[in-house]
A = this chain, B = another copy of it.
Amino acid sequence: MIALVVDALNYVGIVAFAVSGALKAGEKDMDLLGFMVLGFSTALAGGIIRDVLLGRTPPVNLTYLPYPLTAIAASLATFALYDKVNKYRDVVLYPDALGLGAFSAIGADVAFSRGLGPFGVAVMAAVTAAGGGVVRDVLAAEVPLILRREIYATAAAVGGFIYIALYYAFGRGVALLGTTAAVTAIRLASLRLGWELPHRGRRLGALNAGP
Contact = CB atoms under 8 A, between A and B. Distances in A.
Interface of A: 25-35, 37-38, 48, 52-55, 57-59, 62-63, 65, 68-69, 79, 82, 114, 116-117, 119-120, 123, 134, 138-144, 146-149, 153-154, 196-202, 204-205
Nearest to A23: B200
Nearest to A207: B83
DSSP class of A's interface residues: helix, strand, loop or mixed? helix
Copies in the complex: 3
Contacts of A79: 198, 200
A37 to B, nearest CB: 6
Contacts of A154: 33
A196 B55 CA distance: 38
Contact of A28 (B34, B139, B148): B148
A197 B79 CA distance: 12
A52 B48 CA distance: 11
A197 B29 contact: no
Contacts of A63: 116-117, 120
A82 B207 CA distance: 14
A149 B26 CA distance: 13
Given A26-B201, A29-B148, 14 more contacts: A28-B143, A29-B200, A30-B147, A31-B196, A31-B198, A31-B199, A38-B147, A53-B57, A53-B62, A54-B58, A63-B116, A65-B117, A139-B144, A141-B141
B54 A57 contact: yes
A148 B200 contact: no
- A38, A68, A199 — most chain B CB neighbours (10 Å): A199
A68 B196 CA distance: 24
B120 A204 contact: no
Contacts of A202: 29
Contact of A148 (B34, B54, B119, B146): B34
Contacts of A62: 53, 116, 119-120, 123
Contacts of A32: 197-199
